[in-house]
Structure 1
Amino acid sequence: MTDTDDSADTVPTPDLEQEELPLEGLAHGIRAVVRYPPGRRRVDRSGRLKYPHVLLTAVDPPNGTDPPAGFPHEELAWLLKHRRRSWKSVTERWGEHAADRADTLVRCGVVEAKAEADREFMIVGVKTSLHLTSAWAASAGKRRLELLRRTDPAQTRSELLRLMEGVSQLQHERELLAAHGRATVPPGSATRAGAWETYEFVLRVAHWWWTDPHRRPRPIPDETLSISHGHRKGTHEVWTSARVHAFENLMKRAISDLLDFPDHEIRVRGPLRWFNGETAIDASRTPPWSGLPSRGVHMVGRLERADADGVFVIENVGTFYRVCQDPEITRTWICVWGAGYARTGLVELLQRLSPLPIAVWGDLDAHGIEIITNLRERVGRAVYPVAMTAEAWRAGPHRSRSQERRRADAGKARILAAKAPEELRHVAELIATEPDLAGLGLEQQVQHGDVFPVLSELLAGVLASARHGTSGA
């Protein structure tokens, strides 16, 4: 699913009936509703309302369209560019902040979130998309310009004409824009851009490309933006697919030939092999682990998961190293180092390994729970925490924290208690409220002595839960 290419104009809303659902797992100030045309309420054989998804809306939305207090203006402007944003694009853009920011936007009446829901257990599931409310859609274009503090498009056009003057490689584009007379993409542009902002972005990068004497032959994306867009947002700009295609069209070369996208290593141990021509990486044979290229493994070659029972994601590198030394586990589990908040490469790998169940083990604190919650939302399917129980948290030993840090982590845990995987919600509640211990946590490594002797049994329990479709929210 991708973001719509439509601009954020007013969306006609038909008269629909609305029914609120008493679902578990809703964040504070948010309710779940189902809407349907009058007289078309769908029910199952038991007379219960049928719904493939729910809408998460504000319990008490404010009047007007004032931006949420403290919300990053550039991120709100990004959201307002389209009426609808897929959850995949939201998590890729906002990372670990995606869930909290989405809930804030729902509570403030900016968006409604479409989400899955478990009708049997009456639990809200993962979000699938965000949609501007009618009030915000009606003023999105104006609001977006205000948030970005951008100049009038006519002024931007004049600046582009000035930038391209004297740059021979851009002479034809300048002539087209000058003759066009308007701040829209001129007919015949080599960029073939569909939107003015895409066109502006590409021309600014191209100007830098052809005029900077210190440019590397294949710069990384951040290098292209820190100077070409230093007047506005610099490296906070994003190379969207539309911008990539327009830049390729203008330069008449593939983006992979123009820019050097940094790769990183995904550390893996277990029954997984990657083949790329004569190159083969066998994660079951190379101690202590094998390194897969985060981009290469998705772009070329093929993956084979021979006799794998599941995927085991471990947050900390020390614990991952110890797991890799246990042949009983690595014989049937693809063990992956999570390295904190999941990068896109790891998320894509886990998605490719579907439908293998995903077990996760992290620090038993607010951030560890948030990392797992974020991973579940980005991968888009169930994850199964192991060794992260309320009993283990109570037993400690707890990591020392300042009072300020404890208050912050307790607040984070209070939010997570409503949206974390089911197995972790009680732990999150304890971290938020337990007298004398609120805001504390324990690192993965202190659990080694208790967990490793029974880790195989815990992972067997994950397989049983996955087979029966229980837990692993």
Structure 2
Amino acid sequence: MPDLTPQPPLLIGEAHGRETVPLRNLPPGITAVTLPRITKDSDDTIRVRVPRDRRRRVSPRQVDLVADHPVSPYDPPPTLTTRQLIKVLQTKTAKRWPTIQADLGDNAWQIVADLIRCGAVILRCDVVNATGYSPRSWTLTRSWAELAEDKLAELQGRQHPEDLHRELLDIMSGIPELAHEHALLATTPPGRVLKIPEDTATRAEDWRVYEIAIRAAGVWWPAQGAPRKITAKELAGRSLRDTKSAWTPARQQAFSNLIGIPFDQAVDKADTELRIRGPLQWRVGTVIADAAACHPWLALPARGVRALGMISCDARGVFLVENEDTFEQVCKIPEIADTWLCIWGKGYATDGLAEFLRGLDGLPLAAWGDLDAHGIRIIGNLADRIGRPVTPVAMSVDLYRGGTKYRQEPTKLKENRKLAAQLACDGIEALRDLAEEIARTDGHGCEQETLYDEVLPALPGLLKAVHVSGSS
């Protein structure tokens, strides 16, 4: 299994969207932040609001204690015993402070501080006399919650490893597409514990993740002759006998690595929020994902970005594409897909995508959107949220004038004309002339898909110009 180039971990911090609260005597490496309030804007952008009083001051009654630095998705404190680690991972929703003290013993506070610093738990506290605090309960962080079930299976072990080893071999027998994986497991006999084959295509590090990928592939491959695509829940029910079993990002990626197809293409009704193609490797939980080797792309749910850990990327830049079909066309252009990190994120950027792009701040960022008011606003919204320039490509006035305008209801046209007029004054500067033209033509818009003949042949050159200007 290849090593990733050492880089600072880019895990999205639990403090995202919150505000720091100054409290006395916090342990090193820990900060207090306001409790999150999730809201959705009119354009469906999800935001985390900071609670304030009528005078706009932050004066919370409760806070969360979190790590004040980026952390790895899963890296337990070395001082934690196996028994204590199991107790931590068994947290379902929340665990109250008296129970935590009973589980961890006399050193409970020091252990909890270590767990907060390594990104394992969030400790909720009551604020006492404005600057003091009293622990109430903890919850697992997003990344630890995603991995908890698989890590518990590893720690608690299996009563009969030989039987499980034989069962997985039987599942793969007779499936030609799994013959190589069958041979790898056959030459990796179990001892007291089950061992993952070194060269497994799953690229998993936890046995439970590996096992689920094998079981799912054993159901998925024989079902490929059916006229209907198998659903994600159906696959879980048939392979794991539990339709409610979670397709965590790590499980999705291990399965996708094994069958060589993105999860959202392999199954129906997959929760995909992000597609990536290009020269990048990262850890999705505890599974290595390669956005260059995944064909046609690497697919992740939004929560998958929350499990982002170590990353290695040597792309020329990041290219964000607004529409799904357009993203597929871009991925077919080797001059772009082999050198640029291409991303489709479903229109307005999610918090996860915005944080991901912030972590790649050393790379120039280009975007191609629809030639309409919302396409302009999407790019401006992204630039504001990540705090860095975004260069629009293939969004000129000439292309707009020659493009096919899509049909809109009169009320929508009026709204889009009004938005375009506003963006012509205070929108992203590079697109103000386009916004002005859209407002002048009563709000009509032109979608990317109708401009393929004009744009796709020229796109490598347009991105080369962005790379050169970003490097100078």
TM-score between both structures, scaled by the size of structure 2 = 0.48
